[in-house]
Each structure stands twice: as structure tokens, then as C-alpha cells.
Amino acid sequence: MLPGQAAAPAGPNDLTGMFVIHHAFRRDLRAFVAAVTGTPAGDTVSWRALHDRWRLFGTFLHHHHTTEDEAIWPLLLSRVDEAGRETLAAMEAEHHEIDPLLAACGDGFATLATHGDEDVRASLEVRMVAAAERLHRHLAHEETEALVLVQAHLTPAEWEVMEEKSAKGSYTFRELMALVPWIMYGLPVEAQRRLLKLAGPTLALLWRVNRRGFARREAATFRSAV
């Protein structure tokens, strides 16, 4: 159980990877809400940094949801009962509900990155809060219901294949270099140690090489967060 997490369903599969990614999403949502609230509309330097960081967040979230919709949920569909099928249908539907909220936030960041406009900032604040609340609910729904199905109906070998597909991804070099510190940043120390032990030396190396630079960029990007 990590901060903000709704549940950790028991079963044969190690869901550490899923939980640490959810933790990163929750951490980012809190940071973006605080930054949108605290950053002056005319500070275009900060808004450009926030816009770039928002796109990075969106890349990781899109990849996560695509893996679920195209690999995990379809594999489960043939194995679950009617209630389980309803849960999986809700997962996919919630992804489609969240997408336009995130796109609207992206439009706000893009506008403020070019010129200051207090009306746009105020509108973005409302949209950002709404998007964060909706995504928080979705993550909790997934943890309390969908991951119960994963534990009940997928074998450890099948889950390992899913995690390998998710880890490979289609990332640019910059995104790949950011992925590991993005996941690790702000994790409780015990969770960091667990993840490093599970993932092996490559993750440890990328974390060691990139963590300080990532932390500096986070501090600069979210410097006006309240």
C-alpha cells in the first residue's frame, strides 16, 4: 500500500509495478493542481516547462491505458463472469471519459506557454481539478475491482508477459531516460528498495544516473506550486 492507494488485492501476481505507476500518476496530479493554482498567468517560462511536463505525464498515462485496453482487459474478458465483464467495460469507458478532460488541460497549458491570460489560467485550474478528481476515482476503481480480477484469473507467467509489454513501450530516448526517475521520484524508501530489487541492475543504473537531474527539473517546473 502506497500513499493514496485504495487497495492492494491479494493473489499470485506481484502488482508492484502497477502500484508504483499509480503512485506516480497521483503524485503528478497533485503537483499539477498546485502549480496551476500558484503559477502567475504571465510567467510563460514556467508555463512552457509545465506544458512539456504535462506532455510527459500524458505519454506515460496513454501508454499505461493502452496496455490495459489492448492487452490486459481483453485477456481477462473470456475468463470472468458477468460482473467482471461489467467492471472491465467500465475500465475502458472511464479511459475514454478521462481523455477529453486531459486534452482540455493540455490546450490550457499550450495557450499559457505562449502568452499570459488570467481567464485561461482560471479555466485551466477548474479543468485540472476536475481531471484530477476523475482520474483519482478511476485509479481507486481499478485497484478495488479490476486488479482483483487480475489476481483471480491471470497466472504469474501471463502477468509477467503483460509487464514486459508495458515496460518496452514506444518511447523516445528522452522519455525513456525520464521514465525510471519519474516512477521512482517521491516513492517511500521501502518501496524504492522493493522496486530496485525486483527490476534489477538496469533500473538501478538509470535511477542513479538520472535522479538528480530529474529532481532539479521537477523543482524548477513546479516552483510556484502551492
Per residue in 165-178, pLDDT tens? Answer: 776 666 777 888 89
Q: Residue 7: inside a domain, yes or no?
A: no
Q: Residue 69: inside a domain, yes or no?
A: yes
Share the mean pLDDT of the chain.
94
The pLDDT of residue 168: 65
Q: Find the radius of gyration of the CA atoms of the chain.
A: 18
For residue 146, name the pLDDT band (cuts at 50, 70, 90): very high
pTM: 0.95
Average pLDDT rounded to a whole number, residues 39-61: 97
Q: State the cell numbers at 220.
A: 524548477
Model confidence pLDDT, tens digit, residues 181-222 = 999 999 999 999 999 988 889 889 999 999 999 999 999 999
Q: State the cell numbers at 71.
A: 492487452
The neighbour count for residue 124, using CB atoms within 10 Å, is 27
| Enclosing domain of residue 91 | 16-221
Q: Residue 8: inside a domain, yes or no?
A: no
Q: Residue 34: inside a domain, yes or no?
A: yes
- Give the least confident one: 26-30, 122-126, 176-180: 176-180
Q: Residue 11: inside a domain, yes or no?
A: no
The pLDDT of residue 174: 81
Q: Residue 5: inside a domain, yes or no?
A: no
Torsion sign across C-alpha atoms 151, 95, 57, 125: negative
The pLDDT of residue 169: 64
Q: Residue 10: inside a domain, yes or no?
A: no
Contact 177, 206 (CB under 8 A): yes
CATH of the domain at 100: 1.20.120
Q: How far is it, in rounded angstroms, from Cα 35 to Cα 171? A: 26
Q: Which of 188, 181, 187 is nearest to 216 (CA)?
A: 181
Count how many domains the chain has. 1
Average pLDDT rounded to a whole number, residues 93-117: 96
Q: Residue 9: inside a domain, yes or no?
A: no
